[in-house]
Amino acid sequence: MSRARYQGAVTGSGTRPGAGFAVKLVLVALVDALGVFGVLAAWRAGSWGILAATVALLAAANWVYFTKRSLPLKYILPGLAFLLVYQVYVVGYTGYVAFTNYGDGHNSTKEQAVDALLVQNERRVEGSPALPLTVVESSAGDLGFAVVSGGEAEVGTADEPLAAAPGATLDGGVVTAVPGWTVLDRATVLQRQDEVTTLRVPVSADAADGSVRTQDARTGYVFQPVLVYDEAADTMTDATTGVVYTPNDEGQFASADGETLPVGWRVTVGFENFATAFGDDRYAGPFVKILAWTFAFALLSVVTTFALGMFLAMVFNDPRLRGRKVYRTLMILPYAMPGFLAALLWAGMLNTSFGVVNQVLLGGASVPWLTDPWLAKLSVLGVNLWLGFPYMFLICTGALQSLPGDVYEAARIDGAGRWRTWRSITMPLLLVATAPLLISSFAFNFNNFTLIKMLTGGGPRFDDASVPLGHTDILISMVYNVSGLDGSAPRDYGLASALSIVIFVVVGVVSAVAFRQTRKLEELS
């Protein structure tokens, strides 16, 4: 085949496009459709960075797959796009959050915080009557309330204050029909319950008169805001006490005496989260202990699993051993079991009072495998050894079978014994083949959240810690606990992101040093 015909066959850009070009056209059209959807979603959300990146990726995809000049990029672009979206963007956004106060009380923008404060700080107007209420929907799709006030029907929406509804039909003092509006039935109201209970319909054009709210979609009450926001002065005033709150550098409205309103907004706080992680007594002490245990856990996990896996691989690699295939199959059974399920099973087996290990194997002993600090760490290492050695067994078996036989023959001729052969030939060559996998195993165990969460939950807890951290927590589970996702602590995504950046740096440095040592091994071999 000529070079031109070969390139045309690969790119689908020959003189006769054929089915390949049609398939490519359909696939790119689907990608473009999804991309346009993403652009519109980013536009509505005001995420201009995501919008620009999406447009750039779409333009690159269309250019690459409809030009004859970029054959290598046709294969590289998908992986590059996923790298940018799922790695570079995630790391970059995590880095951004690490320098903010993002967390409970600081989840949104300032505008959203102001709206939330005004909505959450309302009180029912004293002496206001209960208003028979009907949920309605305008022809434009806006949700509204139709109420009966003073025997007359009024209707309004969040943007349009209550106004007389001529021609409305009342039955038993309740509005049953309004011209130009659709009365929602009970089933529809239940489906849209969140919208109904959060809807506020102004009583009049004067916001001070309050708004109608409902909790049961049948009776409405007039509420007035306790706080008043002055946009020009950028202040929040308590209408009952007259206290004025002004914005501070922490993303909150604060009074002159330091009292703050509960809802704030995200602001940049510099290195404050890192200073908290390393300098705050609540986190600094546990952080040092957890960091040391994380390194010990990751390193010991790699060493123990590799040692056991290599030993078994060498044993079952001996041609004199019968039934090697059966033994090898049995050795990889733990690897076939999902890690989170195996950790849960072991947690039950190691239970102090009812576990199989204590009740059956140890004759009813009461060994606190998961509640004593040192035994809990030993249990974590033991369970991880059971889960991890099959992987090392597989890669060592493959590496041993790929070692050149003539090297061993030369060693035997030179009079080298088994120990000398293993130390000078087998081990160096085995490390050259498996070193990258050992590095990846270290990185995996450094972030082995599943095992810690499912087996010990990070416990037992530190006695002197005021935060939910324990003796078997590693950095990644510490990040999870600090983030507050499990509800055990207030959410602090900024601090959790700062700790995530520390993990990223540590793993990156260790991996770089390890890969450098791997190159030295290759040079020696």
pLDDT greater than 60 at residue 9: no
Q: Which residues are CB-neighbours of 96 under 8 A, at least 6 positions away?
A: none
Q: Which of 474, 447, 511 is nearest to 292 (CA)?
A: 474
Dihedral sign computed on CA atoms, order 66, 72, 74, 80: negative
Does residue 15 sit in helix, strand or coil?
coil
Share of the chain above pLDDT 90, in %: 45
* Residue pointed to by tokens 């002197």: 464
H or E, element range at 123: strand 122-124
Assign 73 a pLDDT band (cuts: 50, 70, 90): confident
Give the C-alpha separation, 245 to 258, whole Å. 9
- The average confidence (pLDDT) of the chain is 87
H or E, element range at 287: helix 281-316
When pLDDT is averaged across residues 386-397 and rounded to a whole number, the result is: 92
Q: Which of 321, 478, 465, 336 is nearest to 393 (CA)?
A: 336
Cβ contact 399:492 at 8 Å: no
Cβ contact 221:118 at 8 Å: no
Give the C-alpha separation, 370 to 460, whole Å. 7
Among 11-15, 173-177, 320-324, 502-506, the range scoring the smallest mean pLDDT is: 11-15
Does residue 280 sit in helix, strand or coil?
coil
**Tokens, residue 39:** 């652009």
C-alpha distances in angstroms, 267 versus 99, 258, 308, 347?
9, 18, 51, 42
Cβ contact 502:95 at 8 Å: no
pLDDT top residue among 333 and 10: 333
pLDDT greater than 70 at residue 194: yes
Cβ contact 32:26 at 8 Å: no
What is the predicted pLDDT for the residue at 192?
Answer: 92
pLDDT greater than 80 at residue 89: yes
pLDDT greater than 60 at residue 3: no
H or E, element range at 133: strand 131-138
- Written as one string, the DSSP assignment of 347-416 is HHHT-TTT-HIIIIITSS----TTTSHHHHHHHHHHHHHHHHHHHHHHHHHHHHHHS-HHHHHHHHHTT-
What is the predicted pLDDT for the residue at 267?
Answer: 94
pLDDT in tens, 436-489: 899 889 999 999 999 999 999 998 998 877 778 899 999 999 999 888 887 777
Q: Which of 155, 151, 212 is nearest to 181 (CA)?
A: 155
What is the predicted pLDDT for the residue at 232?
Answer: 92
How many whole angstroms from its chain centre is CA 94?
10
What is the predicted pLDDT for the residue at 248?
Answer: 92
Give the C-alpha separation, 149 to 165, whole Å. 11
* Residue pointed to by tokens 């620009």: 52
What is the predicted pLDDT for the residue at 1?
Answer: 46
When pLDDT is averaged across residues 362-387 and rounded to a whole number, the result is: 94
pLDDT in tens, 34-58: 889 988 888 887 788 888 888 998 9
**Complete domains list, the chain, with CATH:** 3-98 (no CATH), 122-225 (2.40.430), 278-524 (1.10.3720.10)
Residue 460 preceded by cis peptide, ω within 30: yes
Share of the chain above pLDDT 70, in %: 95
What is the predicted pLDDT for the residue at 161?
Answer: 93
Assign 14 a pLDDT band (cuts: 50, 70, 90): very low
C-alpha distances in angstroms, 24 versus 8, 17, 57, 444, 476?
13, 10, 17, 37, 42
Give the C-alpha separation, 153 to 164, whole Å. 6
pLDDT greater than 90 at residue 70: no
When pLDDT is averaged across residues 298-306 and rounded to a whole number, the result is: 95
**Tokens, residue 374:** 């040192």
Assign 255 a pLDDT band (cuts: 50, 70, 90): very high
Q: Which residues are CB-neighbours of 157 under 8 A, at least 6 positions away?
A: 138, 142, 143, 144, 201
Amino acid occupying residue 418: R
Give the C-alpha separation, 385 to 382, whole Å. 5
